[in-house]
Amino acid sequence: MYVEGILLDCIDRIRTNRSIFGIYHLITGKKSIQSVHDARIFQLEKYYGIYASLSRQHFIQIIRDMKKKGWIIEQGPDDYYMISSAAKELLQEYYDSSVYTNLNGLMLSGKDISFLERLYLLVQTYSNLQANHYSFIPIIDNPSVTYWVKQFYHHNGKERVAEKLYHELHHVLSQLSNKEAVIFVDRLSGYQHYGMSIDQLAAKYQSSHDDMKIILIAITHKFLTIMDRNQENYPILLQLIDKPNENKFITNTANLTYQLYMNNFSLEDIAQKRDLKLSTIYDHIVEIALYDPDFDIQSFVSQEEQVQIVQAVKNNQTLKLKIIKENCSPSIDYFQIRLVLTRLKELLPEEDFHV
């Protein structure tokens, strides 16, 4: 239900503005300007990166199954879909679920998985240390996580850490529903005890493998949100969360372009200085505009041009760059259109745009 609900919601919002693979890149968290832009412009931020391990082949199979059930209708030969009236009830059922409420993908993408892996290994490690058992098979086979736990132990030692960790976990879990808390705890391993696999959880709770992955991510997002709201209560658990990167953009190369631009280099000079194509620098500027709401795009696209681009979007009810360009003055280029689309939420009221 949950994976299908997410895909139906994405298809219903995006419709024929993107192919189905644009949705795949969004929910698997592809680090591209287009995927992040789509998440924001179609108000799908909560889904960005929520199923990073989903293979393309399995995704295609889910789409085929949904098509066979009559939930989605193909629009032409190029992997564009609309949802059917038969899917509306399922979509509403999904909207009413706690999964829909708890997901916060764009904000927590990447942090969620690293937090879980560190927590799983940390709980297992301290449980074994409490039992004076120093030889065990770690449940997380990830060198970076193993190194992190070793560093944690080096800085925090053994004294009372397990007790503090227990109380912090108990405090967060008490704020989840009983089912959410039990599912979360079912995954934890300890001394002579291994947590349940995704498939074991799916069997226990009569769920599909895909849905259990989504349920766990939703619970984790709720868990992290609770911690963020009351940080003073979780000094141990907060150490498990990756600190925000000082680079606020998707790519380091965009950050380098940003630094040069802020030092009054022209885009042409930046391209020459960095030995990059001007079109690549344009991509960086779009990325900067996407991530920095205070970035002034008027240096590149005038107020009059912005109005014209927004009007083309509104009149044609589309976000396809080619159609927008065809309905603007020839002097307006794709770079300017892409920049305006980063500000579309502010420039075009939601009620005036129904893709």
pLDDT per position as a tens digit, 92-127:
999 999 999 999 998 898 899 999 999 999 999 999
User: Over 80: is that where the pLDDT of 350 sits?
Assistant: no
Pairwise pLDDT comparison (75 vs 197), residue with the higher score = 197
The dihedral through the CA atoms of 23, 29, 33, 36 has a sign that is: positive
Q: How far is CA 149 from CA 219, 228, 323, in A?
A: 23, 21, 52
Which of 50-59, 153-162, 178-187, 252-261 has the least mean pLDDT?
A: 153-162
Is 2-102's fold the same as 252-352's?
yes
- Please answer whether residues 36 and 250 qualify as being in contact, where contact means their C-beta atoms are separated by less than 8 angstroms: yes
Phi, psi of 50 (to 5 degrees): -80, -15
State the pLDDT at residue 41: 86
Distance CA 259, CA 227 (A): 34
pLDDT of residue 184: 96
Number of C-beta neighbours around residue 115 at 10 A = 20
- Contact between residue 339 and residue 286 where contact means Cβ atoms under 8 Å apart: yes
**What is the C-alpha to C-alpha distance for residues 281 and 283, in angstroms, rounded to an integer?**
5
Q: State the DSSP H helix or E strand holding residue 331, giving kind and residue range, or none if neither.
A: none
Per-residue confidence at 353, pLDDT binned at 50, 70, 90? low
* Res. 355: pLDDT tops 60: no
Q: What is the mean pLDDT of residues 160-175?
A: 94
Check if the beta carbon of residue 1 is closer than 8 Å to that of residue 306: no
- Mean pLDDT within 131-156: 91
Query: Where along the chain do its domains lie?
Result: 2-102, 111-240, 252-352
pLDDT of residue 157: 83
* Gap between the Cα atoms of 355 and 27, Å rounded: 20
Q: What is the pLDDT of residues 293-321, one digit of tens each?
A: 889 999 999 999 999 999 999 899 888 89
Predicted local confidence at residue 345, as pLDDT: 82
Whole-angstrom CA distances from 355 to 16, 48, 65, 308, 327 are: 8, 20, 25, 18, 17
Q: Per-residue confidence at 17, pLDDT binned at 50, 70, 90?
A: confident
Q: How many CB atoms lie within 10 A of CB 93?
A: 12
pTM over 0.85: yes
At 44, the pLDDT band (50, 70, 90 cuts) reads: very high
* Token code pair at residue 26: 């969004």
Among 59-63, 130-134, 324-328, the range scoring the smallest mean pLDDT is 130-134
For residues 266-294, give the mean pLDDT: 93
* 141-146: average pLDDT: 94
What percent of the chain clears pLDDT 70, i.e. is strictly above it? Answer: 97
**pLDDT reported for residue 351:** 61
Mean pLDDT of 161-176: 95
Per-residue pLDDT, averaged over 237-252, amounts to 77
Q: Cβ distance 234 to 14 under 8 Å?
A: no
Residue range 199-244, pLDDT digits in tens: 999 999 999 999 999 999 999 999 999 999 999 999 999 999 987 6
Distance CA(321)–CA(272), nearest Å, equals: 27
- Please name the CATH architecture into which domain 2-102 falls: Orthogonal Bundle (1.10)
Please tell me the predicted confidence (pLDDT) of residue 348. Answer: 78
pLDDT band at 249 (very low <50, low <70, confident <90, very high): low
287-296 mean pLDDT: 90
For residue 348, the surrounding DSSP H or E stretch is none
The DSSP string of 210-247 is HHHHHHHHHHHHHHHHHHHHTGGG-TTGGGGSPPPPS-
CATH architecture of 252-352: Orthogonal Bundle (1.10)
> What is the token pair recorded at 342?
């980063």
